[in-house]
Amino acid sequence: MRRPRPKRLILGLLALVLAFGVTPAAVTAPAAHADQSSVLKVALISGIDSLNPFTATRLASTQVNRYMYEFLTTWDSNTMQPAPGLADKWSVSSDKLTWTFHIRSGMKWSDGQPITAKDPAFTFNLMMTNSDAGTANGSYTANFASVKATDDNTLVITTKKPYASMLALDIPIVPQHVWSKVSNIGKFSNEDTSQPVVSDGPYTLEQYKEGQYVRLKANPNFWRGKPKFDEVQLITYTDTAAAVQALKSGDVDLVSGLTPSQYDSLKGQSNIALNDGHNRRYAELMINPGAATKTGTPIGNGNPALKDVTLRQAIATSLDLNTLANKVQQGHAQPGGGLVPPVYSQYHWDPGADAWGYHPDKANKMLDDAGYKKGPNGTRLDKTGKPLSLRLLANRDDSTNPNESQEAEYVKGWLHDIGIDVTIDYKADTQVSDDTTGGNYDLAFSGWSVNPDPDQALAQETCGQRPEANGQGGSSSDNWCDPDFDKLYTQQSGETDESKRADIVKQAEKLLY
């Protein structure tokens, strides 16, 4: 049965605003640095769920962790092809099952201890044996049979079957001599700066005040060389409007995720540079099809009416993505289709003539034919005779899509036009994350950043990404599970021919849609 994919917008406005010669904020910012020219202040809107790289899934959290931790390999910013990271070279066996990585010599952790192959070996083995450690990125190691450090500079990974994403492991590497002493990975926050937080990235954690700021100090041992800024401060603001005002008043240097009107208001202002570029992130409206744990046990309080695929299809057919893209986002977004954004053309799937489109008359007929009769006030009744009322979970402080409140009102109106009552429920982004993971929603706005390699984006749609029985550990994009999709995910994961893999990825995207 065809299952409607949550409607997507590919956000095209990546507005980074840079000001020069600014001064620190007296109230919201950390203490002033002696030389302000060596401090970069970045506005932070979305909340931090954890600074533990094994469990952090929120955008702000992963952003901070990327300052602190390096990866085995990385991406070339120009070609979007794999590039050396902690490993400067690698090889693979003829059967595509054994990968040998050479770890650079002479690298040090921020505390002076040497970085060796034992550190990535420890990191990957922990993820393979501890379910909490696999919360954020466990799909990457699911196909690993063994990981060994044969000496300080040699890491050998053996996979169960060929793995196309071996050079795209988006896994922060942690120091074995620190993390081997952590007794409970799931509860460890990695936020206590009374003891040094040891890093191999360009910065180390100096200070963290929840809901206020993160202060990072340059890592003197960073293997790529000393960072240009001695300190990076990520300062929390309630919304982008407050962040833009802080930029204008000189309290921050960098603001991202602006609304089109905010972006336009900064044009022509002295000492402010603007950037409008293609994004790798999508925004989506999730429809709860009946959330469940990894074992299939139902969880959450989603409206059971949404288990009906016809109802979900009618909702998808009633949404006008062109209005959201052109009116709300003012042309800085485009209607989405496949999971992979157009910036990665090799794996991007476009529905073309099969797009759901905006057809409210068709949606109304679908619901009429399916037996969803309208009550005296125009609201349809579900199959049990109750008014068809849905909750729309929205973010009240989301920097990745600051127009979400406007979009929510449009969605409410469009669903009203087909006889569905909608109540908008605004919550903090961390609560939105908890509620969607636990299935406590009917409709919800969400979004993800997609890497050049599509594996992680696809993995978030597999049955195995649903939460554990206690509601923890899940990173499913929308609580969906389809064995046919899982088969396609497994096939693309093991296909090392890029062209053949791209075809399978697009089949998976089509099924999702």
Say what the pLDDT of residue 17 is: 34
485 part of a folded domain:
no
- pLDDT above 70 as % of the chain: 91
Q: Report the domain count for the chain.
A: 3
Contact 40, 301 (CB under 8 A): no
Residues 346 and 231 in one domain: no
Question: Can you tell me the mean pLDDT for 348-361?
Answer: 93
Confidence at 315, pLDDT banded by 50, 70, 90 = very high
Asked if the structure places residue 23 within a domain, the reply is: yes
Q: Is residue 177 part of a domain?
A: no
Q: Which range has the worst mean pLDDT, 103-117, 190-204, 288-302, 426-440? A: 426-440
Out of 214-223, 249-258, 441-450, 471-480, pick the least confident: 471-480
Owning domain of residue 223: 17-70+183-273
Domain boundary (416, 431, 453) is at: 453
The reply to whether 136 falls in a domain is no
Are 318 and 448 within one domain? yes
Run of H or E residues at 262: helix 260-265
Say yes or no: 102 and 161 in one domain.
Answer: yes
> Does 388 share its domain with 358?
yes
* Same domain (yes/no): 307, 392: yes
pLDDT band at 93 (very low <50, low <70, confident <90, very high): very high
Give the number of other CB atoms < 10 A from CB of residue 93. Answer: 11
Does residue 507 lie within any of the structural domains? no
Q: What is the pLDDT of residues 276-286, one digit of tens each?
A: 877 788 888 99
Domain boundary among 236, 258, 273: 273
d(CA 436, CA 82): 32
> pLDDT at residue 60 above 90?
no
**pLDDT confidence of residue 2:** 39
321: in domain:
yes
| pLDDT tens profile 70-83 | 999 999 988 889 99
Give Cβ neighbours of residue 244 (< 8 Å, ≥ 6 apart).
17, 255, 258, 262, 265, 266
In this structure, are 227 and 296 located in the same domain? no
Looking at the fold, whether 329 and 447 belong to one and the same domain comes out as: yes
267 and 319 together in one domain? no
Is 3 inside any structural domain? no
SS (H, E, C) 160-225: CCCCCCCCCCCCCCCCHHHHCCCCCCCCCCCCCCCCCCCCCCCEEEEEEECCCEEEEEECCCCCCC
Last residue within a domain, chosen from 255, 273, 291: 273
pLDDT at 396 over 90: no
Residues 196 and 283 in one domain: no
Same domain membership, residue 360 and residue 401: yes
**Full-model pTM:** 0.80
Split at pLDDT 50, 70, 90, the class of 143 is very high
The phi and psi torsions of 391 (rounded to 5 degrees) equal: -95, 130
In a domain, 43, yes or no: yes
**CATH code of residue 363:** 3.10.105.10
Question: What's the pLDDT score for residue 358?
Answer: 96
pLDDT digits (tens, 9 = 90+) for 254-281: 998 888 889 889 998 888 899 887 778 8
pLDDT, tens only, 487-513:
999 999 999 999 999 999 999 999 988
